[in-house]
Amino acid sequence: MKGIIRTGDKTTGGGQVLSGSSLMVFNGIGVARLGDPVYCPKKGHNNVVIAQGHPHIFR
């Protein structure tokens, strides 16, 4: 089972999840969803979004 990704979580590339759901939270922090924005510090990685996720998580 894969873990839950939440707003503020770090990425493997040194970035961070920028936003998540205000309706679905885990331990008081919004759960990130398919298409939510992610900051990535790597050159050329602009407008990065979460590319994989459960399709039925509330937007």
Q: What are the pLDDT digits (tens) for 2-48?
A: 789 999 999 988 999 999 999 999 999 999 998 999 999 999 988 89
pLDDT of amino acid 36: 93
pLDDT of amino acid 51: 87
> 54: exposed, middle or buried (C-beta count within 10 Å: 0-12, 13-18, 19+)?
exposed
pLDDT of amino acid 57: 64
12: left (phi over 0), alpha (psi -120 to 50) or beta: alpha
pLDDT of amino acid 3: 84
The Cα 36–Cα 31 span in angstroms is 10
Domain hosting residue 28, numbered range: 1-59
**Residue 58 pLDDT level (bands cut at 50, 70, 90):** low
Number of domains in the chain: 1
Q: What is the DSSP letter of 5?
A: P
